[in-house]
Amino acid sequence: MILKTKFIQKFISILFKFISSPRENKAMSGGGESKKAIYAALFGNLAIAISKLFAALFTGSTSMWAETYHSFSDTFNQVLLLIGVKTSKKEANEKYPFGFGKEQFFWSFVVAILIFGVSGVLSLEHGISYFLSAHDTHKVENTLINYVILAIAFAFEANAIRIAFGIFRKTIEDRGDKLTLPVLFTELKENKDPVIITVLVEDAAALLGILIAVVALALSDVTGNSAYDAIGSLLIGIVLMGFALFLARENRGMLIGEAMSKRDLKKIYDAVLNIPEVEKIKSIRTMHFAVEDVLIAIEVYLIENLSTVTIESVIDNIQSKIRESIPYVNPSKIYIELAQDNK
């Protein structure tokens, strides 16, 4: 027993050193805000996954096995997100004239599938297998280890979500908006950065999963009934599947060709309608190719009796106003048409 305790203390000490290693800061310093969130989640999830695996093997907890699948899946997911960030930066070519920006949306969609198919399904399978087998063969031992590991995991998952949420909040505050609950939900729905959204959702699911596991283990300890541990695994699986479906839905929209946010569309409307020669806007069609790469096709009615030179000047002015409203837009992806049909 003394040997086991020393081994546990040594393992936890190594875990702390690994997670708090300066490698994380070094990795984050070379990338952007999205990469910072990914690296924070990657190094934390890898260490936590190993610790949960140790605890699951040592104690036999079904809930801890569910959390182990979850953390290893999250670790692999961060690698996929990094692949998406890197490949999305490739230059456009003849075959892909609009570039590779949608790579981020694709890999984020793959992450959603993995959360659902690997973490969610395996967590459900472990919980269901308890009720389909002889219950007396499943016993949770040395539960103190589980509590210690889950407490450590909670601390570092909370740190990862703090970093991701800080980036998310900065986006809101940079616009001059106050951070309120309605604004937060609107931003979550309209934000086009799949990396930040994915990391936020993963970390939120991780924190919720840890809380479920703690409650399930506590109930098993108090009652002596390991069914609560199995129920915890089932609930974790359901939570993961729910979050995965949300991610899949968001990235599906971006892959199909989701438009700009209503907030940015309003900026364009206001800017263009303030041009005296523009009578009204017939339509604006937009589509994101990446977080800050968007196609804008606008069709407008101009006032009558304008000369050709004036019309050309107005078109240039429309493009200029759009670029002022949406600074990241590429001029080559702004298409302006003059409406000719009956009003």
Same domain for 210 and 70?
yes
Q: Is 140 a domain residue?
A: yes
Tell me if 202 is assigned to some domain: yes
| Amino acid 92: pLDDT | 87
User: Which amino acid, 231?
Assistant: I
- DSSP for 214-251, please give it: HHHHHHHHHH--THHHHHHHHHHHHHHHHHHHHHHHHH
161 and 292 both lie in a single domain = no
Say if residue 91's pLDDT is above 50: yes
295 and 240 part of one domain? no
- Here the CATH number for the domain that contains residue 107 is 1.20.1510.10
Residue with the bigger pLDDT between 43 and 19: it is 43
Domain boundary among 227, 256, 285: 256
Number of H helices, E strands in the chain: 12, 3
The CA distances from residue 35 to 4, 11, 81, 199, in Å, are 38, 29, 9, 10
Residues 197 and 319 in one domain: no
Q: What is the pLDDT of residue 137?
A: 53
pLDDT above 70 for 4: no
Interval 228-257 mean pLDDT = 89
Per-residue pLDDT, 78: 85
Asked if residue 343 belongs to a domain, the reply is no
pLDDT: which is higher, 25 or 215: 215
> What pLDDT sits at residue 52?
84
In a domain, residue 59? The reply is yes
pLDDT reading at 95 higher than 70: yes
Q: Which of 235, 256, 277 is the last residue of a domain?
A: 256
Mean pLDDT score across all residues of the chain: 81
Comparison of pLDDT for 1 and 320, the residue scoring more:
320
Q: What percent of the chain has pLDDT over 70?
A: 87
- Residues 197 and 232 occupy one common structural domain: yes
Q: Is residue 268 part of a domain?
A: yes
The predicted pLDDT at position 106 comes to 92
Full-model pTM: 0.72
State which of 33-37, 99-103, 224-228 shows the largest mean pLDDT. 99-103
228 and 304 inside one domain: no
Using alpha carbons, select from 205, 197, 59, 58 the residue that is nearest to residue 123. Answer: 205
CA-nearest of 144, 164, 142 to 152 is 144
CA atoms within 13 A on the CB side of 289: 19
Amino acid identity at 210: I
Bridge partners, residue 68, by sequence: none
- Of 233, 256, 279, the domain-final residue: 256
Note whether 267 and 163 are same-domain residues.
no
Between the two ends of the chain, the Cα-to-Cα distance in Å is: 85
- Do 179 and 281 lie in one domain? The reply is no
pLDDT for 12: 45
Amino acid at 227: A
Domain containing 298 — which CATH number?
3.30.70.1350
Structural domain boundaries enclosing 188: 2-256
Q: Which of 98, 301, 285, 140 lies closest to 227 in space, CA to CA? A: 140
Query: Which residues have C-beta within 8 Å of that of residue 166, sequence separation ≥ 6?
Result: none
318 and 214 housed in the same domain? no
- pLDDT, tens digit, 9 for 90 and up, residues 294-343: 999 999 999 988 999 999 999 999 999 999 999 888 888 999 999 876 55
Helix, strand, coil fractions of the chain, as percent rounded to 5: 70, 10, 20
pLDDT grade for 283, boundaries at 50, 70 and 90: very high
91 and 165 in a single domain? The answer is: yes
Task: Look at the chain and report how many structural domains it folds into.
Answer: 2
| 27 pLDDT more than 90 | no
Residue 278: closest CA among 301, 257, 295: 301
Angle formed at CA 185 by CA 180 and CA 190, multiple of 5 degrees: 120
Domain co-membership, 293 together with 161: no
Q: Are residues 205 and 275 in the same domain?
A: no
Q: Tokens 């979850």 label which residue?
A: 70
What is the structure's pLDDT at 135? 57
pLDDT of residue 294: 92
